[in-house]
Amino acid sequence: MHTTTIPCCLVLSALLGVSCAANADLDFETWVTKHNKLYTQKEKAQRARIFAENAITVARHNAAYARKETAFAMSLAGPFSDLTDAEFSHLHLMEPQNCSATHNSSGPVPKGSGSLPKAKEWRTHAVITPIKSQGHCGRWAELCSVFRAVVFG
């Protein structure tokens, strides 16, 4: 049986009024190759469906971003675009840990004597490194929880 595949960007362009140029990373086959994904035929169909659903979410969000209704853009370029939110959470996030480094045993943070700016762009001070995959935390679960608590509050 021969089937014709319509690129996701064309479908999204028609449905959401967003341009293909803004959605060049929406081609599932290209994404699979880029991320060296291997699937069974059945799993590939499921992952393609999830990828397409995520592409719609990204396109809607980026349309809102273009209208300045949100502060950030989204992309399908990363290695997790074939996962549902629940799958990603199960595979890559952890339950909060109850350890000494993640609870408020030390009380409130004391106020300093100097004034602080309302905002600071840390990326311009060589303090923040590019995003990297932390992989699975394994036995370093406490450290990962501390990182998550500090970064994400």
Number of structural domains found in the chain: 2
- Asked whether residue 32 falls in the same domain as residue 12, the answer is yes
What are the counts of helices (DSSP H) followed by strands (DSSP E) for the chain?
A: 5, 0
Please tell me the distance from the alpha carbon of residue 25 to that of residue 46, in angstroms, as a whole number: 19
Same domain, 22 and 49: yes
pLDDT band at 10 (very low <50, low <70, confident <90, very high): very low
Give the integer Cα–Cα distance in Å for 54 and 75.
Answer: 9
Decide if 108 is inside a domain. Answer: no
Residues 91, 59, single domain; the answer is no
Domain with 151 in it = 84-99+138-153
Is the full-model pTM beyond 0.85?
no
pLDDT value of residue 40: 95
CA distance readout (Å), 12 to 4, 33, 38: 17, 22, 26
Mean pLDDT of 104-117: 68
Q: Which of 59, 83, 107 is the last residue of a domain?
A: 83
Give yes or no for a contact between 35 and 20, defined as CB atoms under 8 angstroms apart. no
Band of residue 117 on the pLDDT scale cut at 50, 70, 90: confident
| Residue of higher predicted confidence among 150 and 112 | 112
